[in-house]
Structures are given as structure tokens and as C-alpha cells.
């Protein structure tokens, strides 16, 4: 038997991690610009505007002079596996900060009160957007410092 057949295969996540690590290291831009791009991508990924997150991240990367590629990478904080937990968390943060109390009983639809339902929809939307912006700012700040630290560490150790 050949020894190569017995070699342990890397996991899919480990291979993706190595791939994106090398993609980040080969970017010929200043680490701050790369980190700014990733941070605005994470911010726009926290917004509940599926389909527009890529465009928003590109626009914000242009405004803050961040790397556009890493901005697109950062939007993947919200993906089909994380949409629901992320937006529930954003909604609860918005509820806490704005002081709204919307119970599960309030979310039940009452056919006689279309106006109340529309008003509740507005409150839910505003709460979700506000919570998303707050969570996006916090996550983007963390992502900026994390990516900046990783880049300096990787380049210092020449990995």
C-alpha cells in the first residue's frame, strides 16, 4: 500500500481556513485597509437586508477606503445557517435598547385589527433595524481589531 493513501485528510473547514488565510496574506494592501474592509462587511452582514448586503458592503468599503474583497468576505457572518439566530439576537438587542415589549401574544394575528397589525409591523421593523445597527457596530469593531491582530501576527511570523 502507498503511504499517501493512509495520510489523514484535512477537514473541509481547515482547508477553507488555510485558503482564506493565504488569500488575506497575499493582498498587497496595508493591514488597516484590509481590516477596515472586513469590518464594514461584518457590519453590513448584520443588517437584515438580504440581497443588498454585498452592495452595502462595497459602498461602505469605498467610503472608508477599505478592501473590497475583504468587505465581501465579511458579509458571510450572515449566511443561511446564521440568519435566524443573528436576527433574533438583533431584535432582542433592539427591544432592550428601545424599551419595547412585544410578547408572543402580541405577535398573534387578529383579523379585526389590520391597523394594529401594521403598527406592530412598523415597531418590529424599527426594532430589528436598530438592534442590527447596534450589533453591527459592535461586531464590526471586534472584527476590525481581530483581523488587524491576525494580519500583524501572521506577517510577523511569516506564516
- Is residue 17 situated within a structural domain? no
| Predicted model pTM | 0.73
- Is residue 20 situated within a structural domain? no
Q: Which has the higher per-residue pLDDT, 155 or 86?
A: 86
| pLDDT score for 113 | 58
| pLDDT score for 64 | 92
HSE toward the beta carbon, residue 106, CA cutoff 13 A:
11
Distance CA 109, CA 116 (A): 9
- Is residue 18 situated within a structural domain? no
Residue-range definition of the domain harbouring residue 61? 30-157
Q: Rounded to an integer, what is the distance from CA 106 to the centroid of its chain?
A: 29
Q: Is residue 11 pLDDT above 70, yes or no?
A: yes
pLDDT tens track for 44-88: 999 988 888 889 999 999 999 988 888 888 888 888 888 888 888
Distance CA 57, CA 115 (A): 35
- Is residue 126 situated within a structural domain? yes
Distance CA 149, CA 142 (A): 11
pLDDT tens track for 14-54: 776 666 666 666 667 788 888 999 999 999 999 988 888 88
| pLDDT score for 139 | 95
| pLDDT score for 133 | 94
pLDDT tens track for 106-154: 555 555 555 665 666 777 888 889 999 999 999 999 999 998 998 888 7
- Is residue 16 situated within a structural domain? no
Q: Which three cell numbers stand for residue 4?
A: 499517501
Total domain count for the chain? 1
- Is residue 110 situated within a structural domain? yes
| pLDDT score for 132 | 93
- Is residue 133 situated within a structural domain? yes
Secondary structure, 3-state, the chain: CCHHHHCCCCCHHHHHHHHHHHHHHHCCCCHHHHHHHHHHHHHHHCCCCCCCHHHHHHHHHHHHCCCHHHHHHHHHHCCCCCHHHHHHHHHHHHHHHHCCCCCCCCCCCCCCCHHHHHHHHHHHHHHHHHHHHHHHHHHHHHHHHHHHHHHHHHHHHCC
- Is residue 68 situated within a structural domain? yes
| pLDDT score for 26 | 63
pLDDT tens track for 93-106: 998 888 866 655 55
| pLDDT score for 1 | 53
Distance CA 9, CA 145 (A): 32
Amino acid at each position: 500500500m502507498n503511504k499517501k493513501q493512509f495520510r489523514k485528510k484535512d477537514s473541509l473547514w481547515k482547508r477553507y481556513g488555510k485558503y482564506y488565510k493565504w488569500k488575506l496574506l497575499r493582498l498587497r494592501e496595508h493591514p488597516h485597509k484590509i481590516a477596515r474592509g472586513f469590518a464594514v462587511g461584518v457590519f453590513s452582514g448584520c443588517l437584515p437586508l438580504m440581497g443588498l448586503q454585498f452592495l452595502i458592503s462595497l459602498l461602505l468599503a469605498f467610503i472608508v477606503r477599505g478592501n473590497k474583497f475583504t468587505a465581501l468576505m465579511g458579509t458571510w457572518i450572515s449566511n443561511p445557517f446564521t440568519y435566524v439566530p443573528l436576527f433574533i439576537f438583533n431584535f432582542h438587542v433592539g427591544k432592550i435598547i428601545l424599551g419595547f415589549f412585544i410578547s408572543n401574544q402580541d405577535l398573534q394575528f387578529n383579523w379585526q385589527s389590520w391597523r394594529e397589525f401594521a403598527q406592530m409591523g412598523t415597531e418590529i421593523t424599527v426594532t430589528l433595524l436598530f438592534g442590527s445597527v447596534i450589533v453591527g457596530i459592535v461586531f464590526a469593531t471586534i472584527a476590525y481589531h481581530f483581523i488587524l491582530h491576525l494580519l500583524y501576527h501572521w506577517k510577523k511570523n511569516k506564516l
